[in-house]
Amino acid sequence: MSAEPLLTALTAGLRRASLDEVLAAADLQARVDRKYVVRLECLSALLDRVGDQLHVLQIGEHRAFRYESVYFDTPGLLSYHQHAHGRRRRTKVRTRAYLDSGECLLEFKRVGSRGETVKERYPYPLGSRFDLDADARALAAARLGATTDVPALEPTLTTLYRRTTLVDTVRGTRVTCDVDLRFERPSGQSYGPATGLVVLESKSRGGDAPTDRVLRSLGARPVSLSKYCVGMAVLDHGLPANRWNRELRAYFAWAPQRPGAVSRSW
């Protein structure tokens, strides 16, 4: 069962904001992200506390939108291992498709010198989103330098989900709420949707927005977790994932693979 109707119901009482209003108030291409994996009940409690401070992105009649991200990594999964081992210099390369509008972007994400997330985005053909053309690889080489092996990049995971975006137009912060997560590998392995879960991402310049403080009071703690790493770990239990052990066990039925065991697919 999809969680989208429940998410839409939870945000029904919030004031609407247009895309232009969201971008004007909180574009935040350089920011601090705090991520949480919670149940829908926790999101409901959060909105009870701070809903009067938030607007919800609405385009037409819609408040939840279909996203698809294709992640590119090396055959040895360099980007995944950078994150799994907490490397300071870690990067992601992906295309992101907004399936409702048909827009597509090529994105480079890296961690800045002070731990902030820096994202660069470029228009990209929707029909080419499962591959990196020569221009995309040249951009990746220029932006990421020696942090990844650009010629070896290949599609390794597709994530699909529905997103609702909340914005505090006064404080210039955003919270994205992602539900109905699904992960797919080029080999055909898949997992999802993970129902009843919400991946919250609080995005602010300073890293301690009012929503972060309320989430802490509700018992939620930020996690250093990405959809890419979650998807790879749940589809290959042989990958190192102890950094996210608690969240993967609690929400994604993950367990470390025993020596000699065969990795299972979903």
Mean pLDDT to the nearest integer, 49-77: 94
To the nearest 10 degrees (0 to 180), the angle between helices 227-235 and 245-252 is 70
String of DSSP letters for 5-35 = HHHHHHTTTSEEE-HHHHHHHH--SEEEEEE
Q: How far apart are CA 195 and CA 174, in angstroms?
A: 23
Residue 180: enclosing H or E segment and its boundaries? strand 173-184
pTM of the entire predicted model: 0.86
Q: How far apart are CA 39 and CA 6, in angstroms?
A: 12
Cα separation values, 52 from 12, 42, 168, Å: 12, 17, 9
* Cβ neighbours of 254 (radius 10 Å): 18
* Max avg pLDDT among 183-187, 207-211, 233-237: 183-187
List CB contacts of 58: < 8 A, sequence separation 6 or more. Answer: 16, 17, 18
pLDDT at 187 over 80: yes
pLDDT at 265 over 50: no
**Contact assessment for residue 159 and residue 227, using Cβ atoms and an 8 Å cutoff:** yes
Residue ranges of E strands in 43-116: 55-57, 65-73, 91-98, 103-111
Q: What is the CA radius of gyration of the chain?
A: 18
pLDDT at 136 over 70: yes
pLDDT digits (tens, 9 = 90+) for 91-135: 899 999 999 999 999 999 877 666 666 789 999 999 999 999 999
To the nearest 10 degrees (0 to 180), the angle between helices 40-50 and 210-217 is 120
pLDDT at 66 over 90: yes
In CATH, 4-252 is 3.40.50.1110: no
pLDDT digits (tens, 9 = 90+) for 147-167: 889 999 999 999 999 999 999
Lookup: tokens for 107: 């994105």
List CB contacts of 140: < 8 A, sequence separation 6 or more. Answer: 93, 108, 132, 148, 150, 153
pLDDT at 82 over 50: yes
